[in-house]
């Protein structure tokens, strides 16, 4: 078990969580803001947090990441860890999350908010393998998986789903690839109103697409093959991924 220390302000929130009431239930153990005036002066302490509990990280720009406490330690080795034995570790989560080891100096992510989620499978899903559970979760993707033409919104319209190979073009195709256990809306809605983002879409008007894909039950190779099957030969691609 781990004790988490987060320099933030605990709030009450009814914001939606990832999940499916037919596959698993999600309990929000804590909802913490790190970008308020009070956040700098306070520490939220959460005790007995299991390694498989999920951290939902909200970053500047609207991007969100979901990862277990155990995976957080691996992905952000620069954060402060204290304690001796594994069951008494103390993990202090800082607002500036380093990208890679400090020696590389790549930069950092700025953390705006954090939620600690406890996820339990419902009875019908408790006996499923991880692969089957992932399939059930992704059966509920809305809209259904596929390649969609983007218009003036991050909302994907069923009528804009690409059903056949696209016509050849000298212009590059822009394709958005959302993150794991997410969707196009979940990964990119926070960027949609930024002027640079809008300019990117204007530069690719009529050739901007998003791949709503299964990221848990299918491999990146499967997703790539789906894109290729719908593109003309010798197509030029501009890819924007969230990972």
List pLDDT tens digits, range 112-131.
Answer: 899 898 876 544 444 445 55
What are 160-177's pLDDT values in tens digits?
999 999 999 999 999 998
Instruction: For residue 135, tell me if it sits in a domain.
Output: no
Compute the chain's Rg from CA coordinates.
20
Instruction: For residue 133, tell me if it sits in a domain.
Output: no
How many other CB atoms are there within 10 angstroms of residue 116's CB atom?
20
Instruction: For residue 218, tell me if it sits in a domain.
Output: yes
| 111 and 43 belong to one structural domain | yes
| 60 and 156 belong to one structural domain | no
Residue 119 lies in domain: 2-127
Question: How far is the C-alpha of 220 from the C-alpha of 242, rounded, in Å?
Answer: 13
- pTM, whole model, 2 decimals? 0.51
Instruction: For residue 134, tell me if it sits in a domain.
Output: no
| 69 and 160 belong to one structural domain | no
Instruction: For residue 113, tell me if it sits in a domain.
Output: yes
Q: Are 66 and 19 in contact (CB under 8 A)?
A: no
Q: What is the mean pLDDT of the chain?
A: 76
Domain count, the chain: 2
Specify the DSSP element, H or E, that contains 75: helix 69-75
Q: Which of 85-89, 97-101, 212-216 has the highest mean pLDDT?
A: 212-216
% of the chain residues with pLDDT over 70: 70
Whether pLDDT at 38 is above 50: yes
Instruction: For residue 136, tell me if it sits in a domain.
Output: no
| 113 and 160 belong to one structural domain | no
Question: How far is the C-alpha of 94 from the C-alpha of 97, rounded, in Å?
Answer: 6
| 112 and 62 belong to one structural domain | yes
Which residue, of 98, 127, 156, is where some domain finishes? 127
């Amino acid at each position: 078990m781990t004790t988490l220390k987060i320099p933030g302000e605990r709030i009450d929130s009814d914001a939606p969580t990832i999940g499916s009431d037919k596959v698993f239930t999600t309990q929000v153990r804590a909802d913490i803001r790190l970008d308020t005036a009070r956040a700098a002066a306070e520490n939220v302490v959460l005790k007995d947090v299991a390694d498989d509990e999920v951290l939902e990280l909200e970053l500047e720009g609207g991007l969100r990441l979901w990862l277990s406490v155990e995976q957080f330690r691996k992905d952000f080795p620069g954060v402060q860890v204290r304690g001796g034995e594994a069951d008494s570790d103390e993990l202090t989560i800082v607002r500036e999350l380093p990208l890679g080891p400090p020696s590389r100096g790549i930069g950092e992510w700025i953390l705006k908010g954090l939620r600690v989620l406890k996820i339990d499978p419902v009875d019908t899903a408790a006996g499923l393998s991880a692969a089957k559970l992932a399939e059930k979760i992704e059966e509920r993707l809305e809209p259904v998986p596929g390649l969609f033409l983007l218009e003036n919104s991050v909302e994907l319209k069923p009528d804009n789903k690409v059903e056949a190979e696209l016509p050849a073009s000298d212009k590059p195709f822009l394709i958005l690839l959302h993150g794991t256990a997410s969707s196009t809306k979940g990964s990119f809605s926070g960027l949609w109103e930024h002027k640079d983002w809008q300019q990117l879409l204007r530069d690719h008007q009529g050739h901007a697409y998003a791949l709503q894909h299964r990221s848990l039950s299918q491999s990146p190779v499967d997703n790539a093959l789906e894109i290729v099957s719908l593109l003309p030969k010798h197509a030029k691609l501009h890819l924007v991924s969230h990972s």
